[in-house]
Amino acid sequence: MARLQLESDNLELELQNQLANASKEARGALHERNENAQLKAMLQEGMQDVHQLEQNVARQLSELVQSVPSFRAMTTRVLPFDMAVDNSIFKNMAHSVDDQYTDMGRVLRRAGVVGLSSDVVESYVSSTRSVYTGNEVGDMLKFRARIVTPFKKGTLEKALWGGIETGGGVTFEPGQDSCEPVSFGTSSRVAIQKNEITIDGLTCIMRMVTKQFVESHRVVQVWNMLADWAVGAGCQVRTQEYGWGYIQPLDGNSTVTVGCILMTPTVDGMISSRGCEKVKSLTKLYQKMVMSRLQSLENQTMDEIVQEKDAAGLCPGLVSC
């Protein structure tokens, strides 16, 4: 009788162990299933965010495309720096960027993007008297944009600076061992670029200085772009672009990006464009260039999002569906 009781106790203990192991396996399988479902949900949400951004920006760009002339193609070639020539130019442009940063609040208010709650992408040319036309009346291209995206500030910031470096820009940060060609001022990051751009048969040598300023609630980018164009016999045109932008987190997971550009053409140092018939068409063409840069930034953002999701293991190929 005692032996039967012992065997019964052993069988009961073995059954309990088997049930416990089965429970662990079931819990593990359930946990794995729930984790996989969460990953799939995150992936689906991310793809929906990407689709939403693509639709939003595509709609804005489509509306703007209708108002500017099309061009056949635009090519960009990175040029080597000749510091004997470029050094003083970049230094002057860097000082201009510092002044632009100080003037940023006024410019954004004049552009009508301060307090704006709706998305907008606009560009137009008007006759203007401004400090950016040397206080003379002249043609000025004005561009403004405000777009809310469902992405983190860090993602958009990486996309922006990644695009600069992909385009041949050289970036500098305070404390680097390399020689700094321009002063940082109060900025946290600087980039310089020199490219040859050809568009619709017109070619220019473009130089650009971009600075980043970190504020308590947003990250600001300010830039200055100088381009020398050969638009015909006896007609050399210089375009001077002044740009401002910022990336600011909103409530939840969304981020707002705001940008403003002012561009003035000059002929032989004169703001007035009456001395060259092709200046007005060049100004119109410049609108398309601005749009092309916006489209490139959108593509760079999409690439950055895909890279981040791949790094987080959210790629469909890595997640069992």
For 243, left (φ over 0), alpha (ψ -120 to 50), or beta? beta
Q: Rounded to two decimals, what is the model's pTM?
A: 0.76
* Structure confidence at residue 230 (pLDDT): 79
Give the pLDDT confidence of 278-291 residue by residue, as tens digits. Answer: 777 788 888 888 88
For 9-48, give one letter per residue: b (16+ CB within 10 A) or e: eeeeeeeeeeeeeeeeeeeeeeeeeeeeeebeeebeebee
Token pair listed for 150: 């469902």
Give the pLDDT confidence of 43-91 residue by residue, as tens digits. Answer: 566 556 556 655 665 555 555 545 545 555 678 999 999 988 999 999 9
**Which residues sit opposite 72 in a β-bridge?**
none
Identify which of 61-70, 94-103, 182-191, 311-320 has the greatest average pLDDT: 94-103
- Is residue 213 over pLDDT 80? yes
* Backbone phi, psi, residue 118, to 5°: -110, 155
Kindly state the helix (H) or strand (E) to which residue 109 belongs, with its residue range: helix 104-111
164 vs 199, which has greater pLDDT? 164
